[in-house]
């Protein structure tokens, strides 16, 4: 049986750590790619990681490269490429720059791995997934974004910390865009099967929800330089596992919704069945009035972000 081939585009903290998790889980053989200007850096990271295999007991082949030809016929491609927001850089600057980077990467993915499933991790996430799908022309179910798994993990972590219980016993769900407008779902949250509302007062639940919304910003403020990468990479690896092992996991991710939830043709965070074909089904939940309002606010924010991105891409093409 042929091993899965997994390409990770971007050998920075998130990309390299994604390769680390995927290798340690023996999900397949991994190609770690970055731009030629970085020289042999991807080769060095891949070789270093491969040499940890005999110690940690995993058997995955890893290759570092700057040549997309080495990624040919990948089963799954993870796109982490892009730049973080820097001092003095506007939101539109970041959006425009990363949209061009993701578009360029996606064109190479289309050329070398036309049957692959694509997971986008680059930010601003919801807009970047839209750009990747547009640039590849792949069916919507084969292009998705990693956000919900990470956001849910943060939410579950904070609940477990609050209750002093195992995170394994916390089950939770979030909807909407990645970031401040995400919609944690207390009505779909339980601990060992017990509804969270029976374990914590509403005020405290709201505080934990708010902390989950700003989980990434909290880490940035603590690190001072850089942003989170262990949990984002682990979340991505879980999605890769669901695909290459056809696990049919019910997890939240940024998936294309048209009639679903009345979104109207955008990528937003929703619960899906994730398997060998990518997003195999979108699960539509019966939302409460407040949840509907919060979700619509999140969708509106994604729609505005995509509209701005499209305008910036047109300006760049003209200039």
Q: Which residues are catalytic?
A: 178
* Sequence-ordered list of residues with C-beta below 8 angstroms from that of 106, at least 6 positions apart, any chain: 79, 118, 131, 132, 134, 135, 136
Alpha carbons 31 and 135: distance in angstroms, whole number:
21
Angle at 54 between CA 235 and CA 23, to 5 degrees: 20
Alpha carbons 239 and 229: distance in angstroms, whole number:
15
Contact 136, 109 (CB under 8 A): yes
Q: Angle formed by the axes of helices 41-50 and 13-24, to 10°?
A: 30
Contact 183, 294 (CB under 8 A): yes
Longest Cα separation, the chain:
58
Alpha carbons 96 and 104: distance in angstroms, whole number:
12
Strands 266-275 and 170-171: unpaired
Contact 39, 71 (CB under 8 A): no
CB-CB neighbours of 219 under 10 Å: 17
Q: Cβ-count burial of 247 within 10 angstroms (0-12 exposed, 13-18 middle, 19+ buried)?
A: middle
Alpha carbons 296 and 192: distance in angstroms, whole number:
30
Angle at 228 between CA 224 and CA 232, to 5 degrees: 175
Phi, psi torsion values for 306, nearest 5 degrees: -65, -40
Token pair for 198:
């029976």
Token pair for 153:
């993990």
């Amino acid at each position: 049986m042929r091993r899965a081939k997994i390409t990770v585009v971007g050998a920075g903290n998130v990309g390299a750590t994604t390769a680390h998790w995927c290798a340690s889980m023996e999900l397949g053989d991994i190609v770690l790619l970055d731009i030629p200007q970085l020289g042999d850096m991807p080769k060095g990271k891949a070789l270093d990681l491969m040499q940890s295999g005999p110690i940690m007991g995993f058997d995955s082949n890893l290759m570092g490269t700057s040549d997309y030809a080495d990624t040919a016929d990948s089963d799954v491609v993870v796109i982490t490429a892009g730049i973080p927001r820097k001092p003095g850089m506007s939101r539109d600057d970041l959006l425009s720059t990363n949209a061009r980077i993701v578009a360029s990467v996606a064109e190479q993915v289309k050329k070398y791995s036309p049957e692959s499933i694509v997971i986008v991790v680059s930010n601003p996430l919801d807009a970047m997934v839209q750009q990747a799908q547009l640039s590849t022309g792949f069916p919507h179910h084969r292009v998705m974004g990693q956000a919900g798994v990470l956001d849910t993990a943060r939410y579950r972590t904070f609940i477990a910390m609050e209750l002093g219980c195992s995170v394994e016993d916390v089950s939770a769900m979030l909807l909407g865009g990645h970031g401040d407008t995400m919609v944690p779902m207390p009505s779909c949250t339980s601990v060992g099967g017990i509804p969270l509302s029976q374990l914590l007062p509403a005020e405290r639940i709201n505080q934990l929800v708010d902390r989950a919304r700003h989980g990434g910003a909290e880490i940035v403020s603590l690190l001072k330089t850089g942003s989170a990468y262990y949990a984002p990479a682990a979340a991505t690896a879980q999605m890769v596992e669901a695909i290459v092992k056809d696990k049919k996991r019910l997890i939240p991710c940024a998936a294309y919704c048209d009639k679903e939830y009345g979104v109207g043709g955008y990528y937003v965070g929703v619960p899906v069945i994730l398997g060998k074909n990518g997003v195999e089904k979108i699960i539509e939940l019966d939302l409460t009035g407040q949840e509907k309002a919060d979700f619509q606010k999140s969708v509106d924010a994604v729609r505005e972000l995509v509209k701005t991105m499209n305008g910036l891409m047109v300006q760049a093409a003209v200039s």
